[in-house]
């Protein structure tokens, strides 16, 4: 179980960097001259690392393969981890982007979804 969660956290770190890291590189001037295709390839290379973690996490964590989680549980866990990782990375890379009350309310709803998906 913990192996699946750790792989999902690592996967979401790579995913967030692939999706939003290029924006920070552009802000710092590192990639401001890159063509869009170059940015896409750069992000895809990072996303490859995401898949290298995401696929094993789902495979080892899925109840059909001897893991503890149903498909729905895996998805809800992944979404919750995704929001946590995004919030942390966004606050580190984009310090001007602060969380508002409605963001926190939405996060509470996601945590509630995790709770409800595990009720049997």
User: How many structural domains comprise the chain?
Assistant: 1
Give per-residue pLDDT as tens, 50-100.
Answer: 999 999 999 999 999 999 999 999 998 998 899 889 888 888 888 766 778
The pLDDT assigned to 41 comes to 95
Global pTM reads 0.82
The pLDDT assigned to 45 comes to 95
Q: Percentages helix, strand, coil for the chain, rounded to the nearest 5?
A: 80, 0, 20
- pLDDT interval class at 44 (50, 70, 90): very high
* Structural domain span for residue 66: 2-118
Tell me the chain's radius of gyration from C-alpha atoms: 16
C-alpha distances in angstroms, 55 versus 14, 49, 58, 68, 114? 13, 10, 5, 16, 21
- pLDDT interval class at 39 (50, 70, 90): very high
Residue 6 predicted with pLDDT over 90 = yes
Report the Cα–Cα distance between both ends of the chain, in Å, rounded: 18
């Amino acid at each position: 179980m913990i192996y699946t969660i750790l792989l999902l956290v690592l996967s979401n770190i790579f995913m967030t960097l692939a999706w939003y890291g290029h924006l920070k590189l552009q802000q710092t001037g590192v990639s401001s001259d890159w063509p869009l295709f170059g940015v896409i390839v750069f992000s895809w290379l990072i996303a490859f690392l995401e898949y290298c973690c995401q696929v094993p996490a789902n495979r080892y964590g899925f109840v059909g393969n001897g893991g503890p989680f149903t498909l729905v549980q895996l998805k809800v866990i992944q979404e919750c981890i995704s929001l946590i990782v995004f919030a942390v990375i966004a606050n580190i890379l984009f310090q001007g982007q602060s969380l508002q009350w409605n963001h926190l309310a939405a996060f509470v709803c996601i945590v509630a979804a995790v709770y409800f998906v595990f009720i049997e």
